[in-house]
Structure 1
């Protein structure tokens, strides 16, 4: 039954129908529904179908229509539904069917305070380098041992590849070889342990030149492993790995590791001495005291700066409560006895050289002011060795820098007071003792003195940090650290090779030492059947000839019996010698250099000149003089050309 329009007075309120609205789909389930849908009376009357009523009239609702027969119902179902006619108005057109068009794209609505919070947009994935930085930090927290293996492998592999790529060895390697051939209790320029180890490594490898490279890089790796073992017992595995990562930033762990010298030989011994002292004081085993004494003696044989570390350990034993408990036990006495027995030959040699006045210090200080200046220069040099370590530590703590990344937190174990005081004292006090002792003549500051005392600086820095470390710029710090770990070996190699194209002197790593040695051996063998037993000259030029000669001859350093105690006048007379010098050292090649004449006597040598090609258009002239062995007659020298 259709609802009539609402009439109030003379005005009729019409109900509005929505325009252009898609009609709802009708479900035709049964006959009764079809009949009711086809009947016009069943539909609600349109607002246009209602006529206005006269005033005073009443609206009468129409009676319900009778149900049509089935045929009419089916016809009505198929016929379109039309609205009821209106008196004087046109019938309204039926609504148009909805068009299936895509709705226009509306702009995104702005969020309102009551609307739910929008999901954060995911950040762009970091690059390869930044991902590597994040991975390094994650492994440091979760798998520190794995990171340690990666550090040792990359560090050792890159530096060994850089060192083996050069055709020759660094300058100090030739000195270690010529000193090591003579097993003495001490040498004019160096303590004995490094030359001894050089000769032992050469014998074990069949005189392979690369044995020194294995020895030097192996010593650096051994020092890093010992730092990790010592730090693991103090600050945990993560803190120990962090200490190793910081240690490789120190200067002596850079290009210097390609040459085996007294400083490199001392690095693992310094860490081993501190670790054994800690184990001996905190433990109960007597073998730790024995090992401590032996390692301290070896350290003094490797570098005289080791005496400063021994003084620090003695002072720490006396000043700490844990150390004073052992003063009345046999442990310290056992360590002192073992150290004295192992060190006795070198102590006797030092006493003899000082009595004879032939032990010349490396740095000559004529007065007190120059000694003080030398001490300050040594301290500043020690600070310079730590520039890389200081730089990375500062970058990690800066609050706002590029590539800083999210702050990272490292949780370390808190060290005890004994451990903290031990590591800090062993890391910094020996350098101060050497500087102060050099002023009064107790210590001699040499080229390799300071590098031997810095092996514990990385661990000392970790102990200065709080147990919970917040790295403000972890990515930047790791980027700089990776550049040092990977980039410095390549940079050092490129720097050495680039010097071959400059106008300066050729680095010894690129020097044709083997060609010079072969030429000088040919000079000797073409004039006598005796083996070449003695080569006279500077440590560099004579070392070039002696290192690759077979059999390896002894070197008469600067024709000085004090510097070469293994050479005697009788041996020199019986074996003869080949004197070698470059025209850069002495210009003339037709006479023996003046510093060599007093030791070589009044023999009549045979002179000669040789030009050695250095490559890339460079040449170097050498002079040589052959003094024949006893009983060998040399051919007469050619008369000088007429002028």
Structure 2
């Protein structure tokens, strides 16, 4: 009579068996789909309504995406390609990046569910996913689609595929897919390699998994991975390993400007909501769930539990320890907590009943709707009522309109290049009809799509922020050389005064470029 109940769920009393919720959890995939739809709707609409400009990393991604390069001095460019694709499909810079970010988060939910279903059963897998919205990294920061978030679903998919491939001798094709997903994951961010390292160690240390190496399929998967990753390795050599230099510079900055325990503190703070939901749901109670007449145990296989601890907590703990000795960005841990909910349910699943599942679902709904609403309220209030300038407060369209107006008043050609204050210049080029390129840092190593010939042919619009009485930044003086500066006032807040923006048009045909800018990789190859 109770055969429809998922394995591992306490059998409910008659009163609860007839409830809508007890019927709904017969189909956990439907609940996961509803959670994903809610996440996508709330976290797409909320920031799109209040953010006048995309977050800083998103603007950078859009500007780099239009260049379609494989690798920049920071990271591989899969996130930038996705952003540019979203713009080409929709024609908007206003909302598609938020939708893209939530599609990535929802894909992570799905892959985590698939892994947990294999290990814990369908109902407990649903409980693990319902815990995920309580994690900070799946809420407040998600409007900023960047490399940290682009790699989230790859970490979840790699964990699922590796477990499935080593568990089932018949899963030959999963080794090929694992190699493909692992290779593409590196295009999201090189730190995906950290999870691959943990996966490789587990593959060699687990007796059952190691036995799969006697078959050709893992090696075919490795060949696929190497083939996919090879272009990144070649390009990394061509640009003199600039991403490694960038990481070293970031480490130095973090060590100089952050306390020794800052990274660990941020990670632990991000877990407070998760712990609160565990308590509210009743899973931290020691007594068995109420209103049950029988319990069907679905004990977690020790090997599976070891895998969860190793892949789900290992990278996060390692980076926390490393942060005591080297710099670590607070958002770098974003993909490292995908499996925390699965670990929790693997430990506490015997306390899971109908009431606990209901509370988890309510908490997930409150987290998604409540936090997205708080985000919208806080951002609007900060920009308009308090006058606190943040990247999302900039009137992006107006900045681009002013930039194009200044350029076309002085030059007949299209606006092809923007530079100066890199963040502001990117914002000026974002919505510009001419779709200019960004000259990052006025350094061709950082913007290889800019060449000396292109500067001569197209000229450049220099942009920087500063009061009307302030001096021009010294680093821009060699480029300006007495050219007229146009200053405008741009309103951005209901309370704060307008922001001052300065423009200088460097017309095409300016032959005395400063300091003989270094040749880009394209120039060197030619």
Please give the TM-score of this superposition, normalised by the length of structure 2: 0.83
| Equivalent residue in structure 1 for 2:407, among 524, 532, 539 | 524
By how many angstroms is 1:406 displaced? 5.5
Q: Quote the residue 1:588 is aligned against.
A: 470
Alignment check: 8 A CA contact 1:411 1:468 kept:
no
Q: 1:274 to 1:479 in 2, by over 3 A?
A: closer
Query: SS in structure 2 opposite 1:191?
Result: coil
Q: 1:348 to 1:576 in 2, by over 3 A?
A: same
Q: 1:455 to 1:507 in 2, by over 3 A?
A: same
Matches of 1:538 and 1:547, distance apart in 2: 14
Q: Quote the residue 2:42 is aligned against.
A: 158
Matches of 1:522 and 1:177, distance apart in 2: 22
The 5 Å alignment of 1:525-540 reads 525-540=408-423
Q: Quote the residue 1:272 is aligned against.
A: 157
Alignment check: 8 A CA contact 2:261 2:324 kept:
no
Q: Does 1:494 align with 2:377?
A: yes
Query: SS in structure 2 opposite 1:333?
Result: helix
Q: Quote the residue 1:610 is aligned against.
A: 488
Structure of higher RCO (CA pairs closer than 8 Å, 6+ residues apart): 2
Matches of 1:139 and 1:375, distance apart in 2: 50
| Equivalent residue in structure 2 for 1:324, among 199, 210, 227 | 210
The 5 Å alignment of 1:240-251 reads 240-251=125-136
Query: SS in structure 2 opposite 1:248?
Result: helix
Q: Which has the larger radius of gyration?
A: 1
Query: SS in structure 1 opposite 2:316?
Result: helix
Q: Quote the residue 2:64 is aligned against.
A: 179
Q: Quote the residue 1:546 is aligned against.
A: 429
Matches of 2:377 and 2:354, distance apart in 1: 33
Count of equivalent residues: 490
Please give the TM-score of this superposition, normalised by the length of structure 1: 0.69
| Equivalent residue in structure 2 for 1:314, among 188, 196, 200 | 200
Alignment check: 8 A CA contact 1:398 1:472 kept:
no
Alignment check: 8 A CA contact 1:524 1:532 kept:
yes
By how many angstroms is 1:151 displaced? 1.8
Q: Quote the residue 1:619 is aligned against.
A: 498
By how many angstroms is 1:603 displaced? 4.9
Q: Quote the residue 2:22 is aligned against.
A: 138
Matches of 1:393 and 1:458, distance apart in 2: 10
By how many angstroms is 1:270 displaced? 0.8
By how many angstroms is 1:222 displaced? 1.0
Query: SS in structure 1 opposite 2:151?
Result: helix
Q: 1:630 to 1:604 in 2, by over 3 A?
A: farther
Query: SS in structure 2 opposite 1:579?
Result: strand
By how many angstroms is 1:394 displaced? 2.5
By how many angstroms is 1:180 displaced? 1.4
Q: Quote the residue 1:629 is aligned against.
A: 508
Q: Does 1:415 align with 2:309?
A: no
The 5 Å alignment of 1:202-281 reads 202-281=87-166
Matches of 1:465 and 1:180, distance apart in 2: 44
Query: SS in structure 1 opposite 2:154?
Result: helix
Matches of 2:398 and 2:42, distance apart in 1: 28
Matches of 1:140 and 1:376, distance apart in 2: 44
Q: 1:539 to 1:135 in 2, by over 3 A?
A: farther
Alignment check: 8 A CA contact 1:542 1:555 kept:
yes
Matches of 1:458 and 1:569, distance apart in 2: 53
Alignment check: 8 A CA contact 1:297 1:339 kept:
yes
Give 1 or 2: higher helix fraction. 2
- Stretch of structure 1 that moved more, 311-320 or 501-510: 501-510
By how many angstroms is 1:206 displaced? 3.3
Matches of 1:498 and 1:362, distance apart in 2: 37
The 5 Å alignment of 1:451-600 reads 451-467=334-350, 469=352, 480-583=363-466, 588=470, 591=472, 593-598=473-478, 600=479
Q: Quote the residue 1:43 is aligned against.
A: none
Q: Quote the residue 2:3 is aligned against.
A: none
Matches of 2:114 and 2:304, distance apart in 1: 14
Matches of 1:433 and 1:358, distance apart in 2: 19
Unaligned runs of 5+ in 2: 1-14, 512-526
Alignment check: 8 A CA contact 1:186 1:350 kept:
yes
Alignment check: 8 A CA contact 2:312 2:338 kept:
yes
Alignment check: 8 A CA contact 1:536 1:558 kept:
yes
Q: 1:168 to 1:366 in 2, by over 3 A?
A: closer
Matches of 2:366 and 2:425, distance apart in 1: 39
Q: 1:366 to 1:515 in 2, by over 3 A?
A: closer
Matches of 1:614 and 1:518, distance apart in 2: 14
Q: Quote the residue 1:80 is aligned against.
A: none
Q: 1:564 to 1:446 in 2, by over 3 A?
A: farther
Matches of 2:261 and 2:297, distance apart in 1: 35
Alignment check: 8 A CA contact 1:305 1:452 kept:
no
